[in-house]
């Protein structure tokens, strides 16, 4: 699959999901995008990008890669088996962040220490990779550069090694960013909101340092109660 265009299902068409739709179609990938409403509500995005607007339940069908990019509080509303119709072994990316005070309310399992990504994986019934959660969407849209560019922005990718990670790394690189191994999904807390890497545009070395410096305790501003 290296060097070829792939079929990508995107569930969520907000700032990150919509930006990824624009960038990935521009790279020649076949994108099926969905939101929580009817496909007709994405007619403008589809016309702009050439993506195919579909129902959320159909976005993952035959996909080589699935991206879930919705508010954390809405994950329980996803249909059971939402990603089950992807191709065997196709990786699932989740870009979500838990903002208990700002948007999502209290999610007890995350407050008790489960990583945000592990919680998403549990609810959708599939392992996930965490990436794109900490970059400003306008930078995702416009600040990608060629590999080898000095100061190239790096994005941490948490998740299991293997073919799925290889594809995720490849997509991150195609988008113009250096993929940095963020460890297993159990350590994805290192890139959650409030950590040293979150919201920064560090290069690969800076990203690795920031991941290593992350405190295990969730920052007070990103807990339901201080």
Q: pLDDT of the chain along its 226 residues, tens only?
A: 556 999 999 999 999 999 999 999 999 999 999 999 999 999 999 999 999 999 999 999 999 999 999 999 999 999 999 999 999 999 999 999 999 999 999 999 999 999 999 999 999 999 999 999 999 999 999 999 999 999 999 999 999 999 999 999 999 999 999 999 999 999 999 999 999 999 999 999 999 999 999 999 999 999 998 5
Q: What is the pTM of this model?
A: 0.96
The backbone torsions φ and ψ at residue 66, rounded to the nearest 5 degrees and listed phi first, read -120, 140
Burial 189-198 (b: 16+ CB within 10 A, else e): bbbbbbbbbb
């Amino acid at each position: 699959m290296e060097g070829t265009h792939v079929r990508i299902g995107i569930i969520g068409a907000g700032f990150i999901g919509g930006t990824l739709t624009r960038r990935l179609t521009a790279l020649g990938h076949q994108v099926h995008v969905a939101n929580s409403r009817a496909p007709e509500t994405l007619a403008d995005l589809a016309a702009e990008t050439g993506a195919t607007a579909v129902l959320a339940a159909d976005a993952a069908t035959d996909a080589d890669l699935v991206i879930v990019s919705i508010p954390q509080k809405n994950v329980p509303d996803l249909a059971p088996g939402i990603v089950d119709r992807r191709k065997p072994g196709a990786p699932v990316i989740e870009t979500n962040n838990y903002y208990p005070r700002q948007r999502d309310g209290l999610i007890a399992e995350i407050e008790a220490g489960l990583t945000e990504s592990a919680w998403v994986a549990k609810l959708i019934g599939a392992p996930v990779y965490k990436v794109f959660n900490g970059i400003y969407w306008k930078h995702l849209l416009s600040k990608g550069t060629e590999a080898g560019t000095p100061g190239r922005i790096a994005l941490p990718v948490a998740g299991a090694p293997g073919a799925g990670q290889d594809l995720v790394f490849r997509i991150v690189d195609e988008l113009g960013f250096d993929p940095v191994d963020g460890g297993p999904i159990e350590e994805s807390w290192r890139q959650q909101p409030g950590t040293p890497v979150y919201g920064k545009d560090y290069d690969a070395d800076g990203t690795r340092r920031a991941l290593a410096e992350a405190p295990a305790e969730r920052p007070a501003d990103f807990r339901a109660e201080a």
